[in-house]
Amino acid sequence: MIQLREIEKYYGELKAVSNLNVTFPKGQISVIIGPSGCGKTTTLKMINLMVKPTHGKITIDSKDINKFHPEKLRRSIGYVIQNIGLFPHMSVSNNISVVPRLLKWSKHKIRERTNELLELVGLDSKIYLEKYPNQLSGGEAQRIGVARALAADPSILLMDEPFGAVDPLTREILQTEFLEIQNRVKKTIVFITHDLDEAIKLADKLIIMKDGKIIQDDSPDRILTEPKNQFIRDFIGTDRALKRLLRLTSRDHMHDAHHVDENERVDEIVSKFAEHPFLWVTDSRGVLKGWINLRKADHKKSVSDEMTLIQPNTLSISPMNTLRDALSKMIGEGIRSIPIVDREHRLQGEVTLEGIQEVVNRQNQI
């Protein structure tokens, strides 16, 4: 747990932040958001002593950070910045092992940890270990940046617009992966962004800042339903209902999907699914292959002859995608339900338009 008490920071005459009282709870993602120049980066940099506050006290697990040696403190806190800042002259493995090497880990332990981290961020260590940053795509570089910050297994992670420099599609994938990783590692994360969708999607706790002050500090749901003042209302915009869908993952709101094996014959299954003519088709391992409309299918043929193929990763989403991703894909493709598949493309369930509507109705009643 990180606590900031009565923090003030002046640059000469200029007041960067003032009267800052905030707690970043253990094992949660706290997102700070606000217009540029609102003091969010300054706030972040004070936590690892890269900026020294003019007044006030910062504690980590009730210990005053001024009691630590700045360099030692920074080695125990993961740090990711917008332009990633990978060292261009070091290979991926050397980039990841910067902090472990500063801490003088054994070579064997470093190698093991590097492989483990690459796997955690979803990159094949055989391919990536010896690559150099100039050979990586933006998304890959960002994953390496996260792996590097996690290298020495710090309990705290500071992230300053980590996904700011990648394209929107990659950003969404990275956010989803980031949530999956956080589910496993449970770090105390302070995350800075200026992208409200990103903030709402990731935050356990959302802090909105303006002119060096905290305007509202609450759960994203509370901020969306009870904005404190006009500034917050303007800031979160009019599509609050849609934004709330960002908080909900497909995994938590999917239903069982009706599906058949591609090897079955149409006439054998048609009576069984009389009420559900529209079915997903999988192979014997459960991998999504396509869909079939029994009303239009030739009863004498097998399912695989009559189905419409789905290319992998086009008409499907992962369990970690938000309901808004699901909704936007359904509207984009003009369909009423969308299949949820895992990494191996096995069918897990489906999300339907009606299902999303129910969720929204239920939320509005609360």
* Nearest approach, Cβ of residue 307 and another protein (Å): 45
51 touching another protein, by CB under 8 A: no
Q: Segment near another protein (CB under 8 A), from 24-32, 74-82, 329-337, 348-356?
A: 74-82
Residue 81: CB minimum distance to another protein, A: 6
By CB under 8 A, tell whether 171 contacts another protein.
Answer: no
Which of 83, 219, 263, 357 contacts another protein by CB under 8 A? 83
Identify any residues that bridge with 159 across adjacent strands, giving them in sequence order: 80, 191
Tell me which of 52, 72, 233, 299 binds another protein, using CB under 8 A. Answer: 72
Nearer to another protein, 76 or 115 (CB): 76
**Positions 135 through 164 that interact with another protein (CB under 8 A):** 148-149, 158
Which H/E stretch holds residue 155? none
The reply to whether 86 sits near another protein by the rule CB under 8 A is yes
DSSP, collapsed to helix, strand or coil, labels residue 160 as strand
Of 4, 33, 84, 141, the residue at the interface with another protein (CB under 8 A) is 84
Q: Does 277 bind another protein (CB under 8 A)?
A: no
Q: Report 232-261 residues binding another protein (CB under 8 A).
A: none
Kindly report the number of other CB atoms within 10 A of residue 192's CB atom: 24
Residue 29 neighbours by CB under 8 Å, 6+ apart: 182, 189, 191, 202, 203, 204, 205
Q: Which of residues 213-232 bind another protein (CB under 8 A)?
A: none
Question: Which ranges in the chain belong to alpha helices (H)?
Answer: 40-47, 70-75, 92-96, 98-102, 107-120, 125-128, 138-150, 168-185, 196-202, 220-225, 230-236, 240-245, 250-253, 266-269, 303-306, 323-333, 353-365
User: How far is the CA of 221 from the CAs of 48, 71, 186, 201, 365, in angstroms?
Assistant: 29, 37, 21, 11, 14
Q: Which of 13, 62, 89, 343 binds another protein (CB under 8 A)?
A: 89
The one segment of 73-81, 191-199, 235-243, 275-283 that binds another protein by CB under 8 A: 73-81
Can you say how many angstroms the Cα of residue 342 is from the centroid of all Cα atoms in its chain? 16
DSSP characters for 43-82?
HHHHHTTSS--SEEEEEETTEEGGGS-HHHHHHTEEEE-T
Number of residues that bind another protein (CB under 8 A): 29
Query: Helices (H) and strands (E) in the chain — how many of each?
Result: 17, 16
Is the CB of 81 or the CB of 327 nearer to another protein? 81
Judged by CB under 8 A, does residue 88 bind another protein? yes
Asked if 16 interacts with another protein (CB under 8 A), we say no
Gap between the Cα atoms of 222 and 220, Å rounded: 5
Task: Decide: is 7 part of the binding site for another protein (CB under 8 A).
Answer: no
Determine if 47 is a binding residue for another protein (CB under 8 A).
no
Q: Which residues bind another protein (CB under 8 A)?
A: 48, 50, 71-76, 79, 81-91, 98-99, 102, 132-134, 148-149, 158
